[in-house]
Amino acid sequence: MAFLLYLFLFFLFNSRLNNAQGPPSPGYYPSSRVQSLKFNQGFRNLWGPQHQSLDQSTLTIWLDKNSGGSGFKSLKNYRSGYFGTYMKLQPGYTAGIITSFYLSNNQDYPGNHDEIDIEFLGTTPNKPYILQTNVYIRGSGDGNIIGREMKFHLWFDPTKDFHNYAILWDPNEIIFFVDDIPIRRYLKKNDATFPQRPMYVYGSIWDASSWATEEGRIKADYRYQPFVGKYSNNFKLEGCEANESPSCRRAPSSSPSGGGGLSRQQIEAMLWVQRNYKVYDYCRDPRRDHTHTPEC
């Protein structure tokens, strides 16, 4: 019995030690293959210009009780590509608040749009942020949008420094990256479950108290305003624009092979993240009607 207890404690200690050391190296860094550009080269303000400031190093957007927050939008729309940003989140009480970086065509197809999301769900002191990844395909505007959410905690504190968050979208797959670590891979199984229409790139901060934190149980509290999101003035946008030839392939490869997919080393890093930090997977939610998500 003592020996079994020793083995249990040994493996528990090593598991925690490995977690503290962070994920294994992916061995490949797609962000390094994309040229950086400044905010004004790739984006414009979309709403809340009085709640947005830009200097040489940082774009800052914020939300208070007198505003609906602020958002920005890319100058061009794309039908595939690599889209990345460096973000730093606000510490403390941010419940109900969403800080995001995402692709969407909701302005072109209201009520029937596509979307690929990186969203940080606000939290309360001493509780970690949740990073929500999501994919919509021809989402309905009637409140019955079919989300494909996968949620994660992070292996670092996203309020302490800027970290890179990116979406790689090509005709066959979508990969979400954090500091070049793939955390989720969404494969095209058929046309009905994969976004194919051109999308713009957006960033925003807004009040989503109805659902963002503990399914809406904890709301935004404006005693803690302003709520601030920071984006390094060092964006990564590289892809095929909507009006380019169907044969266009401009984004960096998702893996060192150059042929898409992920290498064995990248898969090991992704599985480490999912094993240790994934907190929700729509495919494993018994409350969901999976006839609407056949890819599960």
Q: Give the pLDDT score at 73.
A: 98
Stronger pLDDT, 21 or 27, i.e. the higher one: 27
Give the confidence band of 17 by pLDDT, cuts at 50, 70, 90: very low
The mean pLDDT value for 17-42 works out to 87
Residues 112, 139 contacting (CB under 8 angstroms):
yes
Name the pTM for this structure: 0.92
Question: Quick one: average pLDDT of 135-149?
Answer: 78
At 112, the amino acid letter reads N
More confident residue, 212 or 20: 212
C-alpha dihedral sign at 60, 208, 162, 228 = positive
Task: Compare 16 and 249 and report the one with higher pLDDT.
Answer: 249
Q: Return the closest-CA partner of residue 265 out of 25, 22, 53.
A: 25
- Is 115 labeled as catalytic in the residue annotation? yes
pLDDT for residue 94 is more than 50:
yes
Give the distance, in angstroms, between the CA of residue 78 and the centroid of all CA atoms in the same chain. Answer: 17
Contact 121, 152 (CB under 8 A): no
Q: What would the mean pLDDT of 111-120 be, rounded to a whole number?
A: 94
Query: How close are the terminal C-alpha atoms of the chain, in Å?
Result: 42
Non-local (6+) Cβ contacts of 106 within 8 A are 113, 115
C-alpha of 54 from chain center:
22
What is the rounded average pLDDT of the residues 267-290?
A: 96
Averaged confidence pLDDT in the chain: 91
Give the lowest-confidence range in 18-22, 50-54, 114-118: 18-22
DSSP notation for 83-122: EEEEEEPPPS--TTEEEEEEEE-TTTSTTEEEEEEEEEEP
Q: What pLDDT score does 8 carry?
A: 40
Is 238 catalytic? The answer is no
**Please, are residues 164 and 179 in contact by the beta-carbon 8 Å criterion?**
yes
The pLDDT of residue 14 = 43
Q: Check residues 252 and 218 and name the one with the higher pLDDT.
A: 218
Quick check: 272 pLDDT over 80? yes
The structure tokens listed for 22 are 């962070």
Q: What is the pLDDT of residue 141?
A: 53
pLDDT digits (tens, 9 = 90+) for 210-223: 999 999 999 999 99
User: Which range among 72-86, 226-240, 256-270 shows the weakest confidence by mean pLDDT?
Assistant: 256-270
**pLDDT confidence of residue 140:** 57
